[in-house]
Amino acid sequence: MPKITYVEHNGTEHIVEVAEGLTVMEGAVKNNINGIDADCGGACACSTCHVYVHPDWVAKLPAKEDMEIDMLDFAFEPDEERSRLTCQLKVTAELDGLIVQMPEKQI
């Protein structure tokens, strides 16, 4: 299973195995990781699963679709290049080693 590193805003790291086919958001929720609220349950209808992707991973991820871009406008301090909604990132073998950092808060 791919391993994903979730970094809380305070620097606490959680390295967890996430089954392929789940989303990065589901991996956080199933492992009780603080900082990803996932209020809409993965419907891309909020921004409470917002993260900053490690710079080394930005170009390796699929492009943002229009709905994700629109929802990121509501995220706390979005970064045009690094911000992603974890509900839109499907876990595959290629994501093994992905590092994401949570913002100070979710809104």
Q: What is the mean pLDDT of residues 75-100?
A: 98
**Residue 21: per-residue pLDDT:** 98
Span 16-45, pLDDT tens digits: 999 999 999 999 999 999 999 999 999 999
Query: What domains does the chain contain, in order, with CATH numbers?
Result: 3-101 (3.10.20.30)
Span 55-70, pLDDT tens digits: 999 999 999 999 999 9
Q: Are strands 83-85 and 13-17 parallel, antiparallel or unpaired?
A: unpaired
Give dist(CA 23, CA 83) in Å, integer. 16
Instruction: Give 105's pLDDT tier (boundaries 50, 70, 90).
Output: very high
**Residue 88: per-residue pLDDT:** 98
Phi, psi of 6 (to 5 degrees): -105, 125
**pTM given for the model:** 0.97
**Residue 2: per-residue pLDDT:** 98
Instruction: Give 72's pLDDT tier (boundaries 50, 70, 90).
Output: very high
8-state DSSP, 62: P
Q: In 1-107, where does DSSP find H-type helix? A: 24-30, 66-72
All residues at 6 or more sequence positions from 99 whose CB lies less than 8 Å from its CB, including other chains: 4, 5, 7, 53, 54, 56, 57
Span 45-54, pLDDT tens digits: 999 999 999 9
